[in-house]
Amino acid sequence: VIVNVLFPSGGCFCRSTFLVDVCACLCVLQIDEEVAKLLQLKAQIGGDDGKHQFVLKTAKGTRDYNPKQMAIRERVFNTIISCFKRHGAETIDTPVFELKETLTGKYGEDSKLIYDLKDQGGELLSLRYDLTVPFARYLAMNKITNIKRYHIAKVYRRDNPAMTRGRYREFYQCDFDIAGQYDGMIPDAECLKIVHEILSELDLGDFRIKVNDRRILDGMFAVCGVPDDKFRSICSTVDKLDKMPWEDVKKEMVNEKGLSEEVADRIGEYVSLQGGMDLAERLLQDHRMSQSKQACAGLSDIKLLFSYLQLFQVTDKVVFDLSLARGLDYYTGIIYEAVLTQAGAVPAPAEAQKGAPAEESVSVGSVAGGGRYDGLVGMFDPKGRKVPCVGVSIGIERIFSIMEHKAEVSEKVRTTEVQVMVASAQKNLLEEKLRLITELWDAGIKAEVMYKKNPKLLSQLQHCEESGIPLVAILGEQELKDGVVKLRVVATREEVPWTHGHTHKYTHSLTQQIPD
Ligand-binding site membership of 159 (annotated): no
Does 48 interact with a copy of itself (rule: CB under 8 A)?
yes
User: Nearest distance from residue 464's CB to a copy of itself, in Å?
Assistant: 11
Looking at the Cβ atoms of 19 and 99, the one nearer to a copy of itself is 99
Query: Among residues 99, 81, 173, which one has the least CA distance to residue 132?
Result: 173
Task: Choose which of 77, 115, 231, 246 interacts with a copy of itself (CB under 8 A).
Answer: 115
Does 446 interact with a copy of itself (rule: CB under 8 A)?
yes
Does 158 interact with a copy of itself (rule: CB under 8 A)?
yes
Does 125 interact with a copy of itself (rule: CB under 8 A)?
yes
C-alpha distance from residue 327 to each of 109, 215, 305, 350 (Å): 12, 14, 22, 31
Does 35 interact with a copy of itself (rule: CB under 8 A)?
no
Does 154 interact with a copy of itself (rule: CB under 8 A)?
yes
CA pseudo-torsion sign 251, 252, 257, 259 = negative
Does 51 interact with a copy of itself (rule: CB under 8 A)?
yes
* Positions 189 through 208 that interact with a copy of itself (CB under 8 A): 190, 193, 197
Q: Segment contacting a copy of itself (CB under 8 A): 18-26, 138-146, 357-365, 485-493?
A: 138-146
Task: Choose which of 161, 180, 365, 468 interacts with a copy of itself (CB under 8 A).
Answer: 180
Contacts of 507 (CB under 8 A, 6+ apart): 439, 440, 443, 444, 445
Ligand-binding site membership of 131 (annotated): yes
C-alpha distance from residue 43 to each of 31, 39, 56, 60 (Å): 18, 6, 12, 21
Contacts of 228 (CB under 8 A, 6+ apart): 222
Q: Segment contacting a copy of itself (CB under 8 A): 25-33, 181-189, 228-236, 272-280?
A: 181-189
C-alpha distance from residue 259 to each of 209, 245, 247, 269, 392 (Å): 30, 18, 14, 15, 33
Ligand-binding site membership of 132 (annotated): yes
Which helix (H) or strand (E) is 298 found in, with range? helix 293-311
User: Nearest distance from residue 461's CB to a copy of itself, in Å?
Assistant: 16
* Positions 382 through 401 that interact with a copy of itself (CB under 8 A): 382-384
Does 224 interact with a copy of itself (rule: CB under 8 A)?
no
Ligand-binding site membership of 130 (annotated): yes
* Positions 71 through 90 that interact with a copy of itself (CB under 8 A): 71, 73-74, 85-90
131 contacts 153 by C-beta, under 8 angstroms: yes
Does 58 interact with a copy of itself (rule: CB under 8 A)?
yes
Q: What's the per-residue H, E or C state across 399-450?
A: HHHHHHHHHHHCCCCCCCCCCEEEEECCCCCHHHHHHHHHHHHHCCCCEEEC
C-alpha distance from residue 193 to each of 62, 83, 188, 391, 444 (Å): 33, 10, 9, 12, 37
> Cα angle vertex 461, ends 456, 464, to 5°?
135
* Positions 308 through 327 that interact with a copy of itself (CB under 8 A): 308, 311-313
Ligand-binding site membership of 330 (annotated): yes
Does 119 interact with a copy of itself (rule: CB under 8 A)?
yes
Does 138 interact with a copy of itself (rule: CB under 8 A)?
yes
Dihedral angle at the C-alpha atoms of 95, 179, 326, 107, nearest 10 degrees? 40
Does 1 interact with a copy of itself (rule: CB under 8 A)?
no
* Positions 397 through 436 that interact with a copy of itself (CB under 8 A): 415-418, 430-431, 434-435
Cα(26)–Cα(20) distance, integer angstroms = 10
Task: Choose which of 24, 36, 186, 362 interacts with a copy of itself (CB under 8 A).
Answer: 186
The DSSP bridge pattern shows strands 170-179 and 389-394 to be antiparallel
| Known binding residues | 130-132, 157, 173, 177, 326, 330-331
| Known binding residues for L-histidine | 130-132, 157, 173, 177, 326, 330-331
